[in-house]
Amino acid sequence: MEAERSEGFSGRLGRSGVRAVARKAFLFTYLRGWLVWSSYRAQVILTVVGWLVPVFVFFLIAVFLGAAGTSIQALDGQSYVAFFVIGLAFQGFVANLVGLLAQRIRSEQMMGTLELVFLSPTRPGSVLLYSSLFGVLLNLLAAGAILAVGWSVLGVVFVVNPLSTIVATVLLAVSSVGLSLIAASFILWTKQGNPVAVFFATFTQFFAGVLFPVSTLPASVQWLAYSVPLTFGLNALRPALLAGASVAAIAPSLALMAVYAAVTVPLGVSLFRYTLYRTKVEGTVATY
């Protein structure tokens, strides 16, 4: 009887815990995220325009160079438009994801609420995670919009393997979380300036196989491409989206992203915890 009562209590506790997590996720995502973001219509329009303008810019460049409708040997016979559409979609996704926690912390610093966030009953990491959910969904929406324009306007032909695409996208996101935590640690400590986020927002377009293959880079700088998970992610996502490649076919790239995550996520968590501890000890959490 005692065991049954204990099991029933554990079951109720588990269900209540799931409901609490779902409720917090809803409050942060819908109420604090969507309702606030969508209420600024000019910002919504400008954000969507910012997603799509680079796609057309690079398409016009490809047309000018005569590469828009061609398959290029260096791309393994892929259409160049399809190549850069997928590259831009997921480069934006990863760049925004890496800078997401840092932006959230910076926003709380400027509003003077960061100290209250870290003093709330919910653990600081959980608060930042919940606060980032809407940003992750927005990043996925941006990637989807770019891919949709590539298909509907630019004529990109997709042959999608849903399972491979989902697995590759999840691993790309997870392998980028460690870098996001490292970027958040920088902004928590320095208050301004974030070399990690800047690197992803700019340099990855040129060094991660976003706009042209890594093999076309000088051998002396190709190592830069393999220092970020985006390169492996694109190597997995392009076959999954364009050729219907199976999980087994893209397994090497998936494995490399998993190894990257296994190294950077614990490193990012440790660095963030240490930085948070130091700022609390020095009393600089609320400064900006």
Question: 241-277: per-residue pLDDT in tens?
Answer: 988 999 999 999 999 999 999 998 899 888 888 887 7
- 31 and 135 inside one domain: no
- Phi, psi at 71, each rounded to 5°: -100, 135
pLDDT, tens only, 85-131: 999 899 888 888 887 777 777 766 666 666 666 666 666 666 667 76
With respect to residue 268, please indicate whether it lies within any of the assigned structural domains: yes
- Digit-coded pLDDT (tens) for 153-204: 888 888 999 999 999 999 998 888 888 888 888 777 776 666 666 777 677 7
2 is a domain residue: no
Q: What is the 3-state secondary structure (H, E, C) of the chain?
A: CHHHHHHHHHHHHHHHHHHHHHHHHHHHHHHHHHHHHHHCHHHHHHHHHHHHHHHHHHHHHHHHHCCCCCECHHHCCCEHHHHHHHHHHHHHHHHHHHHHHHHHHHHHHHHCCHHHHHHCCCCHHHHHHHHHHHHHHHHHHHHHHHHHHHHHCCCCCCCCCHHHHHHHHHHHHHHHHHHHHHHHHHHHHHCCCCHHHHHHHHHHHHHCCCCCCHHHCCCCCHHHHCCCHHHHHHHHHHHHHHCCCCCCCCHHHHHHHHHHHHHHHHHHHHHHHHHHHHHHHHCCCCCC
Query: Is pLDDT above 80 for 286?
Result: no
Predicted pLDDT at 54 = 79
Do 125 and 182 fall into the same domain?
yes
pLDDT at 170: 92
Number of domains in the chain: 2
Is 288 part of any domain? no
Mean pLDDT over all residues of the chain?
Answer: 77
pTM (2 decimals)? Answer: 0.78
Residue 31's identity, in one-letter code, is L
When mean pLDDT is compared across 23-27, 66-70, 232-236, the lowest value belongs to 66-70
27 in a structural domain = yes
Co-location of 63 and 21 in the same domain: no
Considering the domain boundaries, does residue 91 fall inside one? Answer: yes
What residues make up the domain containing 159? 41-282
52 shares a domain with 14:
no
> Over pLDDT 90: what percentage of the chain?
17
Do 49 and 98 lie in one domain? The reply is: yes
